[in-house]
Amino acid sequence: MPKILVQSAQAPVTGFTDASKPSPLAQAIRAGDFLYVSGQGPLDPATREVVSDDIVEQTRRTLTNLVAVLDAGGATLAQVVNMRVCLRDTTDFPAFNEAFRDFMNGEKVTRTCIGGTPHRKGVKVEIDCVAYLG
């Protein structure tokens, strides 16, 4: 089965260390009935700059970017079966979790949340996901 690359202009393209070279990453790849969305962060799609230092605003922007990629792949949050979250500072978890809960608006997913260091300075949260399209 061929993989299908998915791209959304409503979410930033990331994954580069040298901006003069194209990114080796796809925003998402569809393989069969599954859509695998690359980690999204709190970047403005137009400027690719971090939108705020606030974890709540970063969480909302990250999820908005994720939804834009899901939409480009023909999916919605209702089809997401798993999310993985990386928080730069685990003390941000309570505020992140409330913003996440509010954004999800009752949708249920499986989720893993770990502490780590996202690749870009100023990024406090990164989220990827898998959606089932079947």
Total number of domains constituting the chain: 1
- Residues 6+ away with beta carbon under 8 Å from 36: 28, 29, 30, 128, 130
Provide the whole-model pTM: 0.94
Residue range(s) defining the domain that contains residue 8: 3-132
Q: CA–CA distance from 104 to each of 32, 43, 44, 47, 119 (Å)?
A: 25, 19, 20, 26, 25
Distance CA 68, CA 120 (A): 21
**H or E element at residue 71:** helix 55-72
pLDDT at 15: 64
Which CATH number belongs to the domain containing residue 92 in this structure?
3.30.1330.40
CB 127 within 8 A of CB 71: no
pLDDT in 10s for each residue of the chain, 134 residues: 789 999 999 998 876 667 677 778 899 999 999 999 999 999 999 988 999 999 999 999 999 999 999 999 999 999 999 999 999 999 999 999 999 999 999 999 999 999 998 778 899 999 999 999 99
